[in-house]
Amino acid sequence: MTKLDISLADALAAWQEQGWLRPLDRSLAMMLLRQGASDFEALMAALVSHQIGRGHTCLSLVELATDPQRTLDIPPAQWEARNAYLMHSSALMKNLLKPTELLCQVLGENDLKQLSTRWLEQARQGQTCAWQPEQKATGLHPLVYDEHTQLLFLRRYWSYEQRINHWLYERMQRSAEQVDAATIKAIVERLIPDVTEHPSWQRIACANAAQQSFSVITGGPGTGKTYTVLRVLATLSELHRVTAPERTLRIALAAPTGKAAARMQESISQSLQETQSDEFNQLQTILPAKASTLHRLLGSQRNSRYFRHHRGMPLPYDVVVIDEASMIDTEMFDALLDALAPSTRLILLGDKDQLAPVEAGSILAALCQGAEHGGYSASHWQRLQAASGEPLPAETQTAGSQTRLDHVVMLRKSMRFSGAIADLAMAVNACDVEAANAVLAAHAAMPSSPVQVVETRQPQNAAVAANWLSPQLLSGYDNFVKACGETPSPEETDTWALRVLSAYGEFQFLTALRAGPYGQKAVNTAVAGHFGQTPDHWYHGRPVMVTANDYSLSLNNGDIGIALNHPESGLLKVVFPGKEPGTVRWVLPSRLAQVETVYAMTVHKSQGSEFAHAVLVLPDRSSPVLTKELIYTGITRAKKQLTLVIPNQQVWRQALQQRIERLGGLFGR
């Protein structure tokens, strides 16, 4: 390969213009160059920052040396643009180098096999990088290199993972206060009676959490995570009355987003109403009135990434329960652990197979890797059987004195999620294309089937994309339109608003992408046009989603409201669910600075929600974000009816075989 005489600054500017680097990535490299770093150091900083933007917490130099293009996820088809740069409006395009070319130019040689060796030599000579385990990272080192794993980190993310690892290992070396297994067994059997199939993983999860200061309960939709965690809390409450009768157990309930927190509160309230006993009546008196977001729990501060609660001012709770833990990123998990007192129990709930968070990291997936096999150490395997009264399968035991999976229980049987939707979800989760297509084929000729497929012609523009929005599909809004059209009396205003919000939650378009002819923006425009409206204007019946936390109004990113003509005041106002179940709150549109129309939302935004009928709209071309986890998450948002919009069968097949693989340093991976 011929060495090209192009400056690193020009090459990175071309990468940014092409959209392969974020402005943040390039800015970091340029800052390091101004501070005297070498081209090599600046380039590696830009690349590891680029990986963080893709959800990884580090960069593997082994993978980078082996296949730079695949590691950085730069689409090969776009290299043709480099050869046609004279037709491009910007002269920067002539500096568009492949990753291999740019790395070789900066290295001064063509052999990338020595990348890790060359990087370690460079790190020892410069001031930009600290290397582990020999040198301690300081504020002078924006980069950290792990010589054993050959992973390169930004120091901030390396620090997050080091603290998380330390916290987890420390908790895994000790359990909570030792309680007689027979006592736990008696409570668990009383709270979860009438078990017909053994082993009961719900009993096992309850017994496990009662013996641990840190525990994880994972499982798919309908496996009873809320049911189980209520029994866990009732067990802990009973034990607390014995060990500390002078005060009540202090419990916090939280989730990563406002929508997930509202769903958590709704599920807990419904489960409590269905259960009547002295233990649950007692539990209801000590549960918080409302689940909060993680940001609100920790005490977020404006214009700052820091929180009011931290190691010096820990949260004042005995037990903290976090739902939808698959949405927690590395930075947020570090902040959560830092805010927990040594005596506070942490319980995580979530589906390990759902989408990873938008930000870098995949905490729940890392914690639960291999959970379907059990993976319990011999001693803990015996303790679980004694405390739960359940016979654990022999294959769930593994060698070793202790494992991270001692703290994880996976619920396996779905109590309410079955039938065609569940079959399709399981096939997708297993990356089994043939099984998934078999489910779709079996229900193709059944008009009343809970799973329907809409196949479309590939459109050339967004306007054509509206063709698949048939009257039959749009009839999913009928109950919502009917509720909006009611004319209640002033005294019935709030009751009517609750009916409108409930009707809206029955039907939802979910998209894989924001842009493109099958993206969120196109679908929102098409549906708004069906109702004779434009997406960005206020009108009676407009559904909106808050897109940024608004602390002055106590609204969170992801909260959904409906614009309605208020019967009493005559003004157009936006109604949101209230802080207490069964209540609403009204806000003038002029006070909502950051909202968007939400006839359609992305699958990422839908996490923590459920809809009676969900329409999952896939794109007509492949995308890095189109993975089996995204499709699985979209499918499992549907409770009764699922409609799949599949413009391109090849894209569907490719997506089912594409997994989220996030690189990180948790547990020494």
Task: Note the pLDDT tens digit of each residue in 345-397.
Answer: 999 999 888 887 878 888 988 888 888 888 888 888 888 898 888 888 888 88
pLDDT of residue 253: 93
Quick one: 198 and 160 in the same domain?
Answer: no
Give the mean pLDDT of 609-636: 87
Quick one: 207 and 301 in the same domain?
Answer: yes
Give the mean pLDDT of 628-646: 89
Q: For residue 558, is it within any domain?
A: no
393 is in an annotated binding site: no
219 is in an annotated binding site: yes
Q: Are 376 and 406 in contact (CB under 8 A)?
A: yes
Quick one: 221 and 147 in the same domain?
Answer: no
Triad 502, 266, 594: Cα angle to 5°: 65
What separation, in Å, do the N-terminal and C-terminal C-alpha atoms of the chain show? 34
Sheet holding 600-602, edge to edge: 451-455, 638-646, 611-617, 507-511, 600-602
pLDDT of residue 501: 93
| DSSP tag of 126 | S
Judged against a pLDDT cut of 60, whether residue 134 lies above it is answered with no
Judged against a pLDDT cut of 60, whether residue 131 lies above it is answered with yes
Number of H helices, E strands in the chain: 27, 22
Q: For residue 77, is it within any domain?
A: yes
d(CA 219, CA 414): 9
Quick one: 229 and 157 in the same domain?
Answer: no
pLDDT of residue 458: 53
Q: Which of 569, 567, 572, 570 is nearest to 587 (CA)?
A: 572
Which domain-ending residue is among 392, 410, 434?
392
Judged against a pLDDT cut of 50, whether residue 89 lies above it is answered with no
pLDDT of residue 143: 87
Quick one: 191 and 270 in the same domain?
Answer: yes
19 pLDDT tier (thresholds 50, 70, 90) = confident
Q: For residue 559, is it within any domain?
A: no
Q: For residue 196, is it within any domain?
A: yes
Q: DSSP states of 314-371 as a string? A: ----SEEEESSGGG--HHHHHHHHHTS-TT-EEEEEE-TTSPPPSSS--HHHHHHTTG
- 177 C-beta neighbours (distance < 10 Å), count: 11
pLDDT of residue 333: 94
Give the mean pLDDT of 274-289: 80
Q: Quick one: the chain helix, strand, coil %, rounded to 5?
A: 45, 15, 40
Q: Which of 371, 607, 646, 407 is nearest to 508 (CA)?
A: 607
Quick one: 319 and 383 in the same domain?
Answer: yes
pLDDT of residue 88: 47
Query: 595 or 414: which carries more pLDDT confidence?
Result: 595
d(CA 431, CA 210): 35
Quick one: 305 and 334 in the same domain?
Answer: yes
Judged against a pLDDT cut of 50, whether residue 81 lies above it is answered with no
pLDDT of residue 457: 60
pLDDT of residue 5: 59
643 is in an annotated binding site: no
Q: Are 511 and 643 in contact (CB under 8 A)?
A: no
The dihedral over CA atoms of 495, 500, 505, 511, expressed in degrees to the nearest 10, equals: -150
Q: Which amino acid is at 542?
A: R
Residue range(s) defining the domain that contains residue 451? 420-490+505-538+596-657
Residue 645 Cα distances to 443, 510, 655, 659, angstroms = 15, 10, 14, 21
Q: Which of 59, 34, 65 is nearest to 47 (CA)?
A: 59
Judged against a pLDDT cut of 50, whether residue 87 lies above it is answered with no
Domain count, the chain: 3
pLDDT of residue 77: 47
Query: 315 or 464: which carries more pLDDT confidence?
Result: 315
**Percent of residues, the chain, with pLDDT higher than 90:** 21
Judged against a pLDDT cut of 80, whether residue 100 lies above it is answered with no
Quick one: 220 and 354 in the same domain?
Answer: yes
Outline where 144-274 has alpha helix (H): 155-172, 181-191, 201-211, 225-243, 258-273
76-90, 299-313, 400-414: segment of lowest average pLDDT: 76-90
370 is in an annotated binding site: no
Q: Give 477-519 pLDDT, tens digit per residue.
A: 999 999 999 888 888 888 999 999 999 989 999 998 888 888 8
Q: For residue 563, is it within any domain?
A: no
226 is in an annotated binding site: yes
**Percent of residues, the chain, with pLDDT higher than 70:** 89
Q: For residue 667, is it within any domain?
A: no
- Mean residue pLDDT of the chain comes to 83
Sheet holding 129-132, edge to edge: 59-60, 151-154, 143-146, 129-132
177 pLDDT tier (thresholds 50, 70, 90) = low
Q: Residue 18: which CATH number?
A: 1.10.10.1020
Which position has the token pair 């938008």?
358
- 85 C-beta neighbours (distance < 10 Å), count: 15
pLDDT of residue 417: 65
Q: Give 21-48 pLDDT, tens digit per residue.
A: 899 999 999 999 888 888 888 888 999 9
Query: 27 or 277: which carries more pLDDT confidence?
Result: 27
Q: Are 145 and 118 in contact (CB under 8 A)?
A: no
| 313 three-class SS | strand
pLDDT of residue 640: 87
Q: Residue 446: which CATH number?
A: 3.40.50.300
Give the mean pLDDT of 585-604: 91
Quick one: 456 and 335 in the same domain?
Answer: no
Q: For residue 496, is it within any domain?
A: no
Quick one: 162 and 180 in the same domain?
Answer: no
Judged against a pLDDT cut of 90, whether residue 319 lies above it is answered with yes
Which domain-ending residue is among 392, 407, 438?
392
566 pLDDT tier (thresholds 50, 70, 90) = very high
223 is in an annotated binding site: yes
Pairing of strands 595-597, 560-565: unpaired
Q: For residue 613, is it within any domain?
A: yes
Which domain-ending residue is among 117, 144, 166?
166
d(CA 597, CA 500): 16
Quick one: 130 and 196 in the same domain?
Answer: no
Judged against a pLDDT cut of 50, whether residue 634 lies above it is answered with yes
Is the bond preceding residue 459 a cis peptide, omega within 30 degrees? no
Quick one: 189 and 145 in the same domain?
Answer: no
Convert 618-639 to b/e letters by CB count within 10 Å (16 or more is b): bbbeebebbbbbbbbbbbbbbb
pTM: 0.84
For residue 405, what are its two tokens? Answer: 């999976």
Query: 471 or 562: which carries more pLDDT confidence?
Result: 562
Pairing of strands 151-154, 59-60: antiparallel
d(CA 309, CA 505): 34
